[in-house]
Every structure is written in structure tokens, then in C-alpha cells.
Structure 1
Amino acid sequence: MDIPRIFTIRESSHRIHNPLDDAKLATLGAALRLDPGASALDLACGSGEMLCTWARDHGITGTGVDLSTAFIAGARARAVELGVTDRVRFVHGDAAGYVADEPVDVAACLGATWIGDGVPGTVDLLRRSLRPGGLLLVGHPYWRLDPPDDDTARACLMGGRDELRSLPGLLAEFDGLGCDVVEMVLADQDSWDRYAAAQWLNTRRRLDEHPDDELAEQLRAELRTEPVRHARYQREYLGWGVFALMDR
């Protein structure tokens, strides 16, 4: 049980597997005013940077769940590096359907709403682990600019124009799910660049070190096309943010 290997190659050096950078992740943690000892569940936690740094900086405890063996190994190593192994733990497993044994203060899914087949299902899944009055954190893309056609949307790696909403539309969707939006931190073009461009270096280094890799042809093709695609489409049209929600 694991994610496709090409994803771990692209993001092998990433500690944050979404377009938030270190500063924005820290801004989010500070903005939420977390109490020491607050408990968190992070579904599809990637390499665990949110839980590990917030445990260090704010004294929270938490559990992260992810399908990638490589990312979970990285998360556990990061917990050791930051000296927070007594506060966080990481579980290799499918985050879809995962519910905490005890209600938590913060239930999060940053950039993996496919675990609930979309935003509504992911919000419902997170609610199953949340204590009354707790915080839901949902990371999700939105249209920064309205794409002119479906081809442009697909170049942003979306299925079509209707797959995403504008930022006001996404906020209205949360409202329709019975949630108050109480905070948000948005990626910008620079943090998108840091997320996307680091993948290109990871890809090139993999090709240099393993030219006979079974994925070499696909990696080489991506390295030639992805910088232009990112600059022309993703960077211009696609926004991304983390939204803090509280049930009414």
C-alpha cells in the first residue's frame, strides 16, 4: 500500500507537499492561537512538517496519517530532528475513512480532499474526529483567475473549469456546509514557485543518478515541459489556501 513512486521522486526533498512555504505554515500556526497540549489529526500528512513544527513551536500533540511509506519515514525522522517524538506519531495507512480514537482539537487535511471525494466529504470525515468547538483545517485549490476554457483548466492539472470554484465561491461552499470560516492563509505565486520548481531539481537529480530508472522517459519528458506549463498556466490561474473552519 503506497502512492505511485513518481510522486515521491518529484517531491523527494519536500518537507511541505503543498504550495505553502515554511513562513506561511508558521503564520497559519500562529494565527490559530493553539493552546499547548492541543491535539491534532492530520490526514494525508505527507512528511509531517505541520505537526512537527507546531509541536515544537506551540506544544501541540498530534497524529499524522499518510499512504506514502517514504513520506511517513521522513515525518518520523523530522520528529526526531526537532525533538518532538513524545508529542507526535505517524501512521502509515489510508487516510480515507480514518477517524481518531479520541476527539481532537484540530482535524486537518491539507491538499488531499480526494480522501473524502471532494470538499463536502472531507469536511464530513474530519468532523468525525473533531471535538465540539474544534477547528477544521482544509487545504484546497481555487481559481485565482477564471480560466478561459477547459484546455486551460486541464493545463493546470484540473479536469475542467467546473472542477474548482473561485475563492469567493469556495468560501461560500464552506458556508453552505454549515461552517464559519475563521482564518485562512493563501499561497502566492512565489510559494507556488518554491513548491513546483523544487520538483524539477528533484527530477533532474534522479535522472542524473539513475539514468536507467524505469520512469526515466516520463521524468525526462516532464522536465522539459513542466517549467513552461507552470509559468504559463498553474502560476497564473491556480490559487491554493488553507482555510480554518468551525461548525456553527
Structure 2
Amino acid sequence: MDLPRFITIQESSHRIHNPLTADKLATLGQALSLAPGTHALDLACGSGELMNTWARDHGITGTGVDISTVFTARARTRAAELGVADRVDFIHGDAAGYVTDEPVDLASCIGATWIGGGVAGTVELLGRSLRPGGVMLIGEPFWRREPPSQEVIESCHAGSRADFGLLDELIEQFADLGYDLVEMVLADQDSWDRYRAAQWFNLRRWLDQNPDDELAAEVRTELDTAPARYARYEREYLGWGVFALMGRR
């Protein structure tokens, strides 16, 4: 049980595995007014930057779960670097279906709603670990504007237009699921640039060092096609954000 090696190569320099910059992650933590001792669960936590930096900056505690052995190892190393290893724990495992024994104050899944089969399933999954009155964080793509063709849709990593909503549609979906939107931090085009361009640099450096690896041809193809595809489609049509939700009473 692990992520494909291509993904860990592509994301090798990333501490945050989505187009949320460190500044925006910090902004989100500040906006939530996190109290010391807030207990959190982060499903598909990646390299644990949310849990680790918020433990350092706000005194939260909690657990991150991720399917990648590479990422969970990085998360533990980062926790030690930041002096928070006694407050956070990282588990290598499948986040799909993971529920805590005791309710948490904050439950999150940032950019990996496939663990619940989509937004609705992930909201339901996180809700099983969240205490009444707690805060849920969902990171999710949305259409910045209406995609004009199937080519655009597929180039933005979707199978159909319905895979993502426009921003207002996504917000309405949260309401239909019984949650109030109480805060949001959205990626901008520069956030996307920093995330995607770093992937290309990671791939190029790896390819220079591993020209005869079995993945070399796949990496070469990605470098040949990804930058222009990103500029033509994803940068223009795909948005992304983290949305803070609280259950309606």
C-alpha cells in the first residue's frame, strides 16, 4: 500500500502537496483562531505540513494519515525539525474509512476527496470523527469559469464537467450537505505556478540523475507536454481552495 513512485518523484521538493502556499496555509490557521490544545485529524495528510506548522504556531495536537511511506516519513522528520514530535503523530495507512476513537475538534482532507469517493463522501467520513461544533476543512478544485470543451475538462484532470463545480456550486453543495461555510482560502494563479513549476523542476532533476530508470520515458513525456498543457488549460480554468465548514444545528 503506497503511492506510485512517479508521484513521489514529482512532489519530491514539496512540503505542501497542492497549490496552497506556505503563506496561505498560515493565513488559514490564523483565520480559524485555533486554540492551544485543539485536537485535529488530517486525512491524506501528505508530508504533514498543516499538522506540523499549526502545532508549532498554534499549539494543536493530532494525527495525520497518509498512504505514502515517503510522505509520512517526511512528516515525522519535519515534526522533529519543528520540535512538535510530542504533539503530532503520523500513520502510514489508507485514509479512506479512517475514523478516530474519540471525536476531534478539527477534521481535514486537503485536496484528496477521492478517499471518500468525492466531496459528499469525504464530508460524511470526516463528520464521523468530528465533535459537534467542530470545524471541518475540505480542499477541493473548482472551475474558475465554465469549461468550453471536453478537451479542456480532461486537461484539467476531470472526466466530465460534473466532476467539479463552479465556486458558487461547490459552496451550495456544502450547504446541501448540512454545513455552513465559515472561512475559505483560495489558490491564485501564482499559487498554481509555484506548485506546478516545482513539479517540472523535480522531474527534470530526477531525469538528469536517472536517465536509464524504467520511469525515464514517462517522466520525459510529462516534461514535454505538461507545461504547455498547464498554461493552456489548467491555469485558466481550474481553481482550488480550502473551505472551512461547520455543521448546521
Would you say same fold, with TM above 0.5? yes
How far does residue 183 in structure 1 lie from its aligned partner after superposition? 0.3
How far does residue 145 in structure 1 lie from its aligned partner after superposition? 1.4
In 2, Cα distance between the equivalents of 1:54 and 1:115? 23
How far does residue 101 in structure 1 lie from its aligned partner after superposition? 1.8
In 2, Cα distance between the equivalents of 1:9 and 1:171? 34
Q: Which amino acid aligns with 2:35?
A: D
RMSD: 0.5
How far does residue 9 in structure 1 lie from its aligned partner after superposition? 0.6
Structure-to-structure mapping, 1:119-198, within 5 angstroms: 119-198=119-198
Tell me whether 1:39 sits opposite 2:52 in the alignment.
Answer: no
Q: Give the aligned partner of residue 12 of structure 1.
A: 12
Q: Is the 8 A contact 1:151 1:160 kept in 2?
A: no
How far does residue 62 in structure 1 lie from its aligned partner after superposition? 1.2
How far does residue 161 in structure 1 lie from its aligned partner after superposition? 1.5
Q: Give the aligned partner of residue 110 of structure 2.
A: 110
TM-score under structure 2 length normalisation = 0.99
Structure-to-structure mapping, 1:26-105, within 5 angstroms: 26-105=26-105
How far does residue 158 in structure 1 lie from its aligned partner after superposition? 1.1
Q: Which amino acid aligns with 2:68?
A: S
Q: Which amino acid aligns with 1:220?
A: R
Superimposed CA distance per residue, residues 140-178 of structure 1 (whole angstroms, 9 cap, x where no aligned partner): 000001110111110111112221100000000000000
In 2, Cα distance between the equivalents of 1:47 and 1:178? 30
Q: Which amino acid aligns with 1:60?
A: I
In 2, Cα distance between the equivalents of 1:245 and 1:48? 21
Q: Is the 8 A contact 1:18 1:195 kept in 2?
A: yes
Identity across the alignment (%): 68
Q: Which amino acid aligns with 2:92?
A: H
Tell me whether 1:201 sits opposite 2:186 in the alignment.
Answer: no
Number of equivalences? 248
In 1, Cα distance between the equivalents of 2:171 and 2:151? 25
Q: Give the aligned partner of residue 234 of structure 2.
A: 234
Q: Is the 8 A contact 1:44 1:65 kept in 2?
A: yes
How far does residue 13 in structure 1 lie from its aligned partner after superposition? 0.7
Q: Is the 8 A contact 1:146 1:166 kept in 2?
A: yes
In 2, Cα distance between the equivalents of 1:133 and 1:213? 50
In 2, Cα distance between the equivalents of 1:5 and 1:101? 32
Q: Which amino acid aligns with 2:217?
A: E
Mind listing any 5+ residue stretches in structure 2 that lack a counterpart? Answer: none
Q: Which amino acid aligns with 2:205?
A: R
